[in-house]
Chains A and B, each alone.
Chain A
Amino acid sequence: DSGVTQTPKHLITATGQRVTLRCSPRSGDLSVYWYQQSLDQGLQFLIQYYNGEERAKGNILERFSAQQFPDLHSELNLSSLELGDSALYFCASSSGFSGTEAFFGQGTRLTVV
C-alpha cells in the first residue's frame, strides 16, 4: 500500500459527460501529480500541484482541470468526455523536495462509452 488513495477505482460514463476523480496523497506530502495511462501512450503527465498551487502543466486538455484543496487532497475534473479519454488515471504524491520518491495510487479506470 503506497498510502495514496484514489477514488473511484472504476468509472463508466457516456460521451459528453463530466466526471471527477479524487486523490488523497500520503500524509505529509505536499505535491500531487496526475498522470494518464493509455495503451499506446504510456504514462503521460497531466498536471502538478504543490501545497494548493498549480506548479507544472503537461499534456492536459482544456476539457480537463484539477485543483488541490487546503487539506491537500486533489480532484481531476474531466468534461465533455470522448471515447479517446478512456484510460487509467493515476495520482502520485511526493514530499515536494528534490529527488524524493513519488508514490502512486492504484488508479481510476475510466471507460467512456
Chain B
Amino acid sequence: QQQVKQSPQSLIVQKGGISIINCAYENTAFDYFPWYQQFPGKGPALLIAIRPDVSEKKEGRFTISFNKSAKQFSLHIMDSQPGDSATYFCAGRAGSYQLTFGKGTKLSVIP
C-alpha cells in the first residue's frame, strides 16, 4: 500500500500562533487530498480537501498548500485556538478507492 508520510508526530502551539503540518505522498494516482480532524473518542471528520490541479485552498483559518511536483502538501492553521487541539490526519485517494492516511499529528494549542 502506497504510503503517506506525515510530520510532525506532535505539535505544541501557543494560542494565536500558526500550526503547520506536512505530508508527502508516493502514489501519483492520488487525485484527492483531504485533511481529517479527530477528537478523542470520535470518528475522523473532514476538515478541508484539495485536488492536485489547485496549489492552495483556504477555508476560514485553515489552508492547504499543495506542491504537485514535490508530491507534498501541508495544512496551515492560522490563529490557532485551544479548541483546535485534536489529532490531524492527511490522506490521499485515487478515484473512489480507499483513503490512505498519514500516521497523524497530535496538536496541542496552549493558552
Q: Contact residues of A with B, CB < 8 Å?
A: 2, 4, 31, 33, 41-43, 45, 48, 50, 55-56, 58-59, 90, 92, 94-107
* A40, chain B: closest CB distance, angstroms: 9
Contacting pair A55 B97 (CB below 8 A): yes
Indicate whether A99 sits within 8 Å of B43 (C-beta atoms), given known contacts A42-B104, A50-B96, A58-B98: no
| B98 in complex: contacting residue of A2, A45, A98, A99, CB < 8 Å | A45
| A105 in complex: contacting residue of B43, B49, B51, B98, CB < 8 Å | B43
| A104 in complex: contacting residue of B31, B44, B93, CB < 8 Å | B44
In the complex, what residues of A have CB within 8 A of residue B1's CB?
A: 45, 58-59
Contacting pair A98 B31 (CB below 8 A): yes
| B96 in complex: contacting residue of A59, A92, A97, CB < 8 Å | A97
Indicate whether A102 sits within 8 Å of B99 (C-beta atoms), given known contacts A43-B44, A45-B1, A107-B43: yes
* A99, chain B: closest CB distance, angstroms: 4
| A90 in complex: contacting residue of B31, B44, B46, B102, CB < 8 Å | B44
| Interface residue SS majority, chain B | loop
* B86-111, CB < 8 A from A: 89, 93, 95-104
In the complex, what residues of A have CB within 8 A of residue B96's CB?
A: 31, 50, 94-100
Contacting pair B98 A48 (CB below 8 A): yes
Question: Which among A43, A59, A95, A105 has the highest number of chain B CB atoms within 10 Å?
Answer: A43
Contacting pair B97 A99 (CB below 8 A): no
Complex Cα spacing A94 to B43, Å: 15
In the complex, what residues of B have CB within 8 A of residue A56's CB?
A: 97-98
Question: Which among B32, B36, B43 has the highest number of chain A CB atoms within 10 Å?
Answer: B43
* B72, chain A: closest CB distance, angstroms: 19
Contacting pair B51 A99 (CB below 8 A): yes
- Asked if B45 lies at the interface with its beta carbon under 8 angstroms from chain A, I say yes
| A42 in complex: contacting residue of B32, B45, B89, B95, CB < 8 Å | B89
Please, which residue of chain A has its CB at the minimum distance from the CB of B101? A43
In the complex, what residues of B have CB within 8 A of residue A43's CB?
A: 44, 89, 99, 101, 104
Contacting pair B31 A45 (CB below 8 A): no
Please, which residue of chain A has its CB at the minimum distance from the CB of B94? A98
